[in-house]
Structure 1
């Protein structure tokens, strides 16, 4: 057992192989992943209190280096970046903290949290034992540990765990990472971090390793158990949802029901801590949305809603209620669960399609009954002692069954459904038992003294001949049911709820509960408030479960009129003024070869690359851009030739006229890789373009062995074994070639293996210069079959003598240029970039309405939004994001909204909306 003392508070934080302990009591670490840098400071309290109301006892946050040192040596720990204030607020609310300072954080965040300027350092190599890199990491640690150190539990704060790096095991094994990870570990320790260290996916000596996953709990548990048998097993990232990227479907595949099932899978396996990543996702404001591997153009959308329990707007969702129910169950059953060990359940006979897993804590038993069937079924379990229990389980569900759980000295509980409360409420020890709407449950109490049933409610029950056992057959109504008992003079009660009523029941503190038909919210000052509907007054809640209207400031409004819709007036966006961008007037700086964003000292935004092309005739040609890492709009003589979306290396057809032609390429920095062995890729265009090239789609025509079947990689294929495919291509008059798209390793060109250091086949994208391996005429590519269909595999070929000469570059980082003219918008120019500006007044809201505002960009193309000079982020109307968050905290009395639209589309249909949950007014809950 390892021990850490917090001398200033007297708290003792310990752990063994089963769980963490606070002051000797085992605790389930139920952590909400919430990033302070993904919302305004004014929203922190609301989100944190809602997390606590869902049963979270801990907060997990990354610290984003690029937020705190956006420019070298210019540190920012103020306002929305005041991470110390965030930790202090967690402490005020009684929430422990898992601090994850990186320096690499991934998080679908630009550059994985590294500042853009770090990529300009000569000889730097990221996430390895590199002198240049570690020099700047150490400077960052000097500053970030100042914030964390004084807020550790050992110093009177609530930081209980500190993470070393992040997911390094996805890159290499522990031995290869040892020097680098040890340097980071020692850097934290030497700077006063004295709480336990953790890692996730990859470890280092002296740190507790956790697992990151959504499914496959058994596999991940076995891995961490093998590596660290003497430490608690925690899920450092339990992926409650998923991120979204431009042009992809909405990431809503992880339903609330499946979320519940996966959480039960984690605890049935033996995990005693879960960090819900994300619990609240927030927003990728400005240019901070990242890019990840898996294709050439997986760029994060501006929303980081993540389909998390709390929405991007801080609203509770069905997943939130699922998390709350699970959290209350874990808390109520913790005395059994946290000290338990897995046991063999093979002796319990179950029908096909039903599984039973079990854990024991001395004589107490917890079973997890799962169903793979298509219909709800009542399963009868005959236990080793001969007792048979009915368990009602829905398709895809896991139901917890408690057998002989000690709820009070001398009183044991058996229940074939979940419990949510096991504590003193209003002076009475109270158990809440809940099940799905309309289901039945068996609840049995066995005591060493006579149990007296004091109620007259018409519940079905039986008592044993000695009166020491009572068995209830409950039906779970919409109306709460209360059953009062006494055991040897001690009062005990059961509250029976269905899931609808359970979702309207809140534990607001130890022994403090609120019940009623309402939706919870938090006002700016942190006070718990609730929107009541008309049925709330009709619910007869037991004592100790205060309906929301009791003690609230609801004198001015009854429960009935509080449910009436509040008509909110949305600010109108009118009087738009347009400032078209005339590309021919853009004044740039000369460069022999185009530079990337960082080399040009521009972190984010747009760059315009310009050049002149001489043509001896009117002709069509193919422009090859071998090194392009972002979306680009290409213009010839002021007319758009097209949008390049597939990047890495790209091509586009151009129409040239005889004589001189202007070529301009408008490139938006769409976000740096947030995870990859190739972090720090140059952004934008960073090589010249080549005319008269050729682009060949290579997905068809592959041969599976000599004389074998022909395989098309854009179609579904079922190939047996380790199959190597081959394909020929011909080069005529070209001396350079790039293979781009879903390559796989080992890759061979004309029998020679092409080195791809660090590449893994699941990345499904690379841009490989194969010029050194090609020759005129027929060439052969060989590579293993991995999967199909794939969305891109191209050969781009060109001749080195056809490179474009001089270039100029100009940045468009700051929005509307001061010198830009303006005109009232009647119709935007056809595919000509433009800024659009308008003003709107801050909406006036009733004091009891908690509104959330968003911007719907109907009719726009692709670009950036600013509010009062604050960059709200990128937009691209190809889905899945439709609405963009407008924080009320950033509004003034009069506000300026600016859009930069790459196609100059008219903003006539753009509008502000209040989110769907603001058509209610709210009552305050006191106490």
Structure 2
């Protein structure tokens, strides 16, 4: 259900024709701009207007929090070069206020600087201010310290929560609002909240939403805004409802999921799949979209959630290391087309009926958009086979690839004197260049060319070619596209204006870039990528790039408004990246000082019972706990500990157990006497709390917490799996109590299964617990989660009512008479949307009366990796101690200007932990996706010596660790220059 949205997305995304998972009708309206902002950003039901001009919003999702600030410009320029005119970001709360009351908007957190770079590059920005974000990020962006605020409940009208949200917004919103477009900045849209169960678009369902709205408006929000999101899906066009007459604003998708966070790198077919899904939006009347993600980046430090580790590559168009994938070029083609014809697409109506007879093949589908500025007819081949299309009025046929959506332009005014009457050849882009307008046509050699123009005034053919024909006020480019190693050029003039047509193959458009400088547009064709353009006097310098693994000799052509210049022929020098970098001899120091029989706990948090990680203000993934055990007799004991993550137990400095805290208990062999117990805990990321509403204190707790029991014997915990289910007609069935159990009406139920077929429903769930062992004083049933409300009965008597999905609860049975026989447990579950049932394991605890372990001390964090003392040389014989350990080494990086070598630290054969290079935390390992090693941002490397530090929580030795090359992500720069008119 919407509460469990991201638990099912992996399944959704495996289906090509996937539907948005939000099954309820979601409002997709947008609040209008204030009067002050309307001249700069406005909209009507047909499209957006930016600075008074119809504008198709092609947006790229990325998070500045996942990119070092020294790489912001590079990543944003790559986005711009792909034809995007906008970026979309989250302003993640715990990234800016990790420690309570300590706000950080500097360095990698300098949001204002990021928006300034965005603005400098001429990009717009959509800013999603939260306070919840999701984003596969630690706790969905909530600071850990929120867990320890009494009475706090997130994402609802709750005074403690709103108090801290307001304080964060007091620091955040002024930065965002100073950068609104009407104040000279790039911000054109703002999103409040994110993927909430209740409020989307302009729906303001309760006082919480009203509070966010009032706060933002009072602080100066003037651009259009909305709640939660608009049209989130991997294929947003499926249920787009593009022609909704009630919508007062454009159709827009704030999360068009392109690929997924479980993938690293390009996968065959990604480009064609998401190319089709993009063109479906354009063809059906969509007015913009935002790819989530266009560049994924990295979860540095401890920012990952429990589904990720360091890499958040997402299989995106721009890779984690800045490399360009095939899908990038698909996005570029759609972006430049949509922007070239935005006057049509942002002011159009559905006119498919008019053009239904343009083709006769019923296997092809027609959609069309009509506007005062022209029409576009989209021919859709939805099948898995290539098809040819014969269009009325066109010589020859079109070949449509499987899944291709092909645009045909009609009656489009290129200039006041030239109309593109019919463009049967696909248009890549139209570029205004002073008194030249360049039309780039996308046609493979030997395929039909068919462009037909109507003109006003005198027409002169500049290019002499039998393909270009001038007949009065009619100009046509018809025939077969020529074979050429450079774009084929055809030009004609009307008055003092030149229409230039560049015909390119698909591989040539992939290597063609549209760039601007000082108000002038330039076209560069031939380079694998074009970066900065610098013009000084009459000299132009262009930075181009070739992938390290595909260095080829390439002609690069520059098209200005007045001339065509062959810039350079890049003869590859065969630059090779070494496969790895040599590491110096390893050193180590223990990270387990706290395990000893004697340990300095000065400054530790002292409590009667242990508290979950973060209670001491630490934000890392590690924590130590210490206490004293008094053992009356030698023997086997069971230690019951509530917790989350992994744990290692030490008795008097000796490691005696490693286990998953979710198991609930471990068995220890203890000798009579007084002992020091130390428990090291670590986790691999917190839940992102998708759609969660309620208290934070007892959700996804890490470390150990609550009452700790110690009792001789055991084990005492077991899972209850033998459940049965019977559907109830409605909630009124609860009034009569549990029905009599029989196997005719009750059917076997599998834990975690959806009992309600994705619909609202009610039902009885029952199981029989065997008679507890003789002498048991009580038993406790622990429910991790039911979906979504539950009333619990013991032997037919109601004992508890629980509300809320994903919130643990318990019941304890201590009646001696009840404990003398098997116990019937029955739950009445109320499910109000999508799937429901007992969605997580139920455990039975028979420990009964047991000694409580008290007197705890805790300290979070791995310790000080920068401390100079304690390091020793590492050899196979030198380290025999167990437990977490630091290791350090060094390597030499030969940094050369113009060469971007991508390096990764491969923690081969290591356990779990973190890696630092030159003091920068690369994130957590092991990775959870198919990528080898943790990415080292090139801006964090030193020329010469670089320090590598690894903290392995399991204490495994780095004998196989390497710094390895990723040549497929590397690239080489070339500076091309020329004199221009």
Given the two structures, how large is their TM-score scaled by the length of structure 2? Answer: 0.79
Question: 1:754 offset after TM fit, Å?
Answer: 6.1
Residue pair 1:515, 1:548 contacting (<8 A) in 2 also: no
- 1:641 paired to 2:652: no
- Report the alpha carbon displacement of residue 272 of structure 1 after superposing the two structures with TM: 1.2
Question: Are 1:266 and 2:281 counterparts?
Answer: yes
In structure 1, the partner of 2:890 is 840
Please say if 1:687 is aligned against 2:712: no
Range 307-316 or range 373-382, more displaced: 373-382
The correspondence for 2:621, drawn from 605, 610, 618, is 605
Report 1:549-698 matches (<5 A).
Answer: 550=567, 559-562=570-573, 564-568=574-578, 570-580=580-590, 581=592, 583-585=595-597, 586-588=599-601, 590-611=606-627, 612=629, 614=631, 616=633, 618-619=635-636, 621=638, 624-625=640-641, 627-634=642-649, 638-639=654-655, 641-644=657-660, 647=662, 650-657=663-670, 659=672, 664-675=678-689, 676-678=692-694, 680=696, 681=699, 682-690=701-709, 692-698=714-720
What is the alpha-carbon distance in structure 2 between the residues aligned to residue 640 and residue 516 of structure 1? 64
Correspondence for 1:412 among 407, 414, 420: 420
Separation in 1 of the partners of 2:46 and 2:881? 62
Task: Give the 3-state SS of the residue equivalent to 1:265 in structure 2.
Answer: helix
Deviations 1:123-178 (A, max 9, x none): 22222222222222222222223322332222222222233222234579976743
Helix, strand or coil at the partner of 2:281? helix
Once the two structures are superposed, the pairs formed by residues 316-335 of structure 1 within 5 Å of their partners are 316-335=324-343
Q: CA deviation at 1:797?
A: 2.0
Q: Paired residue for 1:921, among 965, 972, 981?
A: 972
Whole-angstrom distance in 2 between the partners of 1:887 and 1:831: 33
Q: Identify which of 493, 500, 512 aligns with 1:493.
A: 500
Q: Distance in 2 between matches of 1:40 and 1:379?
A: 49
Q: Secondary structure of 1:181's match?
A: helix
* 2: CA distance, partners of 1:740 / 1:376: 54
Kindly report the root-mean-square deviation, in angstroms, between the aligned alpha carbons of the 2 structures.
Answer: 4.2
Whether the 8 Å contact between 2:57 and 2:289 is mirrored in structure 1 is yes
Residue equivalent to 1:206: none
**Matched ranges for 1:9-28 at <5 A:** 12-28=40-56
* Residue 46 (structure 1) shift: 0.6
Which residue of 177, 196, 203 maps to 1:168?
196
Alpha-carbon distance between aligned partners in 2 of 1:567 and 1:394, rounded to the nearest angstrom: 38
- Out of 911, 914, 917, the position equivalent to 2:962 is 911
Equivalent positions of 1:250-289 (< 5 A) are 255-289=270-304
Deviation per CA, 1:5-60: give whole Å up to 9, x if none. Answer: 879xx973332222221332101112222322222221111111111111121222
Taking the aligned partners of 2:382 and 2:325, their CA distance within structure 1 comes to 26
- Alpha-carbon distance between aligned partners in 1 of 2:292 and 2:875, rounded to the nearest angstrom: 44
- Match for residue 824 of structure 2 among 756, 760, 779: 779
8 Å contact kept, 1:624–1:796: no
1:394 and 2:401 correspond: yes
Does residue 439 of structure 2 align to residue 431 of structure 1? yes
**Structure 1 residues 361 and 687, CA, compared in 2 at 3 Å: closer, same or farther?**
same
Q: Note if 1:149 corresponds to 2:177.
A: yes
Measured in 2, the distance between the counterparts of 1:807 and 1:396 equals: 66
Q: Note the alpha carbon deviations across 1:825-870, whole angstroms, 9 max, x for none.
A: 3268689323233242551222221233321111111012233443
Q: In 2, Cα distance between the equivalents of 1:802 and 1:527?
A: 75
With 743-752 and 38-47 compared, the bigger mean Cα shift is at 743-752
| TM-score between both structures, scaled by the size of structure 1 | 0.84
Deviates more, 1:470-479 or 1:682-691: 470-479
Aligned to 1:51: 79
- The CA deviation at 1:102 is 2.2
Matches within 5 A, 1:434-473: 434=442, 440-441=447-448, 443-448=450-455, 468=474, 470=476, 472-473=478-479
2:124/2:188 contact within 8 Å kept: yes
Q: Which moved more, 1:230-239 or 1:364-373?
A: 364-373
Q: What is the Cα deviation at residue 909 of structure 1?
A: 1.5
**Deviations 1:101-133, CA, capped at 9 Å, x for gaps:** 223233222233333223322322222222222
2:291 and 2:878 map into 1 onto residues whose CA distance is 45
Q: Give 2:730's aligned residue.
A: none
**Residue 841 of structure 2 aligns with which residue?**
793
Q: Closer, same or farther in 2 for the Cα pair 1:390/1:789, shift >3 Å? A: farther
Partner SS for 2:58: strand
Given that residues 787 and 804 in structure 2 are in contact (C-alpha distance below 8 angstroms), is that contact kept between their aligned partners in structure 1?
no
Q: How far apart, CA to CA, are the structure 1 residues paired with 2:753 and 2:160?
A: 46
* Residue equivalent to 2:237: 217
- d(CA) in 2 for partners of 1:264 and 1:715? 37
3-state SS of paired residue (1:217): coil
Of 15-24 and 588-597, more deviation after overlay is shown by 588-597
| Inter-partner Cα distance in structure 1 for 2:927 and 2:326 | 27
Partner of 1:885: 935
Given the superposition, is the C-alpha separation of residues 703 and 918 from structure 1 closer, same or farther in structure 2, using an over 3 Å criterion?
closer
Aligned residues of 1:857 and 1:911 also touching (Cα < 8 A): yes
Q: Which residue of 2 aligns with 1:77?
A: 105
Could you tell me whether the CA contact under 8 Å between 1:40 and 1:887 is conserved in 2?
yes
Task: Quote the offset at 1:900 in angstroms.
Answer: 1.5
- Mapped contact 2:411–2:421 kept (Cα < 8 A): yes
* Mapped pair 1:730 → 2:748: no
Match of 1:341 in 2: 349
Q: Is this contact kept in 2: 1:831–1:905, CA < 8 A?
A: no
Q: Distance in 2 between matches of 1:267 and 1:672?
A: 38
How many residues are paired up?
882
| Displacement of 1:693 | 4.8
Greater shift after overlay, 95-104 or 168-177?
A: 168-177
Partner of 1:479: 485
Over 3 Å counting, the alpha-carbon distance change for 1:813 and 1:658 in structure 2 is: closer
Inter-partner Cα distance in structure 1 for 2:34 and 2:450: 41
Distance 1:524 1:700, change over 3 A: farther
* Partner Cα separation in structure 2 for residue 286 and residue 368 of structure 1: 47
Change (3 A) 1:466 1:171: closer
2:321 matches 1:313: yes
Give runs of aligned pairs for residues 337-376 of structure 1, distance below 5 A.
Answer: 337-345=345-353, 347-348=356-357, 354-362=364-372, 364-376=374-386
Q: In structure 1, how many angstroms separate the alpha carbons of the residues matched to 2:619 and 2:685?
A: 10
Deviations 1:170-214 (A, max 9, x none): 57997674322222222222223322333333xxxxxxxx33332
Deviation of 1:878 (Å): 5.7
1:397-451 deviations in Å (ceiling 9; x for gaps):
333332333333342243345312213348532211225x678355231415697
Deviates further, 437-446 or 862-871:
437-446
Go from structure 1 to structure 2 and tell me whether the alpha carbon gap of 1:790 and 1:46 turns closer, same or farther (over 3 Å shift): farther
Native 8 Å contact 1:107 1:674 kept in 2: yes
Q: In 2, are the aligned partners of 1:20 and 1:232 still within 8 Å (CA)?
A: yes
Deviation at 1:607, TM superposition (A): 1.2
- The change in CA–CA distance for 1:851 and 1:401 in structure 2 (over 3 A counts) is same
Distance verdict in 2 for CA 1:195–1:464, change over 3 Å: closer
CA shift at 1:507, angstroms?
0.5
Q: 8 Å contact 1:41–1:80 — kept in the other structure?
A: yes
Q: Which residue of 2 aligns with 1:822?
A: 872
- Secondary structure class of the residue paired with 1:399: strand
SS at match of 1:119: helix
SS state of the match for residue 893, structure 2?
Answer: coil
Secondary structure in 1 matching 2:60: strand
Q: Give 1:503 shift.
A: 0.9
SS in 2 for 1:424: strand
Q: Which residue of 2 aligns with 1:113?
A: 141
SS at match of 1:600: coil
Instruction: Give the whole-Å Cα distance in 2 for the aligned partners of 1:132 and 1:470.
Output: 69
Q: 1:757 aligns with which of 788, 793, 803?
A: 803
2:909 equivalent in structure 1:
859
